[in-house]
Amino acid sequence: MSKRILLSSPHMGGTEQKYIQEAFDKNWIAPLGVNVDGFEQELAAYVGINAASATSSGTGAIHLALDLLNVKVGDTVFCSTLTFIASANPILYLGAKPVFIDSEPTTWNMSPQALAKALEEAAAGGQLPKAVIVVNLYGQSARMDEIMELCNQYEVPVIEDAAESLGSTYKGQKSGTFGQFGIYSFNGNKIITTSGGGMLVSDNEKLISRSRFLATQARDAAKHYQHSVVGYNYRMSNIVAGIGRGQLEVLDERIAQKRAIFERYAAAFKEIDGIDMMPELEETFSNRWLSTMILNPEKISITPYALIDQLDEENIESRPVWKPLHMQPLFEGCRFYPHAADDIVSERLFATGICLPSDSKMTVEEQQRVIDLIVRAL
């Protein structure tokens, strides 16, 4: 059996251990230290934002953002439906109610049309959401101009979940820097990883400074241990941040590798009627974290599930597109706004989509094996 080909796995650049060694040499094992400060500054500079705070996970960063926006029990928060559960779990941590917004076809991300309807109805009902969480799926930025315009019109703050889109751009501006807050993830399968971790970013330095306070148990300025508000233990360790500093040095290289993988799939499947690769909206640049395509059921008889099983038999990892959150048992009964009455885009993408192996360490020969198998299966 050939070596397993993975969807996306850690890919070290080589300098990570230098930063970790330095932390060991100076006994900056914990709690914070120069790697945390360095990683925060270097990431903020890379995406072009004022301030960043390193966290123990991307989920934790979303939780902090919602807390900083004063989300409380009974509030509502809008969220993209086509995403990983981590985008919405923190809404539940705070006792708030998620309202899910459908995707639109050109980005697979939040539909401005559905968002407009949801905001209009919320305003009419006298309860606007405390925040809108906009996800940038598989590296592709959402239609940020339209979304920001709507949210600004209703004065609702935006949290950009850029966990999957670090390094991507929208009209030249880095993904994750459009809303009041942006978040990134350095989980093991993301485009760069720290083994686990996240980052909260904002142009508002005061809010980021407040997030550091909340993330370290919200300890008041006093000699003794005094606390006036609920805090968390969400800071990134100095060892982990060392990995992040090394990884940031190779981020652009990883993006180039991921994009090359996507281009090879796109070229190989170009002539196959019924395969559509994930689009890239004009004036955006996707990091192509995962190469994703849809199989048109009217033209191709094999289902995504059957194809995933066939690839698995050949020791190749692939997976379906995220199951929309409004379809999850956990969120039964939550409100959902479709793109159009007769077109639920996220459900269509879930039923027909497949994420292909996109590991940046994958060789051209390995990718050719994947391509040949797919062509044969079809």
Q: Using CB under 6 A, which of 40, 164, 280, 347 touches ligand PLP?
A: 164
Terminal Cα-to-Cα distance of the chain (whole angstroms)? 22
Minimum distance of ligand PLP from residue 335's CB (angstroms): 20
Residues 189-248 that bind ligand PLP (CB under 6 A): 198
Based on the shown chain and the rule CB under 6 A, indicate whether residue 84 belongs to the binding site for ligand PLP: yes
- Among the candidate windows 10-18, 51-59, 121-129, 202-210, which touches ligand PLP by CB under 6 A? 51-59
Minimum distance of ligand PLP from residue 21's CB (angstroms): 25
Cβ-based nearer residue to ligand PLP, 300 or 346:
346
Q: Using CB under 6 A, which of 75, 104, 161, 359 touches ligand PLP?
A: 161
Asked whether 64 and 216 are in contact (CB, 8 A), the reply is no
Contacts 24+ apart (CB under 8 A), 92-95: 93/63, 93/66, 94/63, 94/66, 94/67
Based on the shown chain and the rule CB under 6 A, indicate whether residue 86 belongs to the binding site for ligand PLP: yes
Minimum distance of ligand PLP from residue 117's CB (angstroms): 23
Minimum distance of ligand PLP from residue 90's CB (angstroms): 9
DSSP codes joined into one string, 62-76? HHHHHHHTT--TT-E
Torsion, Cα 345 346 350 351, to 10 degrees, reads -30
SS3 338: coil
Based on the shown chain and the rule CB under 6 A, indicate whether residue 87 belongs to the binding site for ligand PLP: yes
Q: Using CB under 6 A, which of 57, 193, 286, 367 touches ligand PLP?
A: 57
C-alpha separations of 263 from 34, 290, 333, 367 in Å? 39, 12, 40, 11
Tokens of 84: 């990983």
Based on the shown chain and the rule CB under 6 A, indicate whether residue 292 belongs to the binding site for ligand PLP: no
Cβ-based nearer residue to ligand PLP, 56 or 76:
56
Asked whether 198 and 56 are in contact (CB, 8 A), the reply is yes
Whole-angstrom distance, CA of residue 62 vs CA of residue 143: 20
What is the contact surface with ligand PLP in residues (CB under 6 A)?
57-59, 83-84, 86-87, 135, 161, 163-164, 185, 187, 198
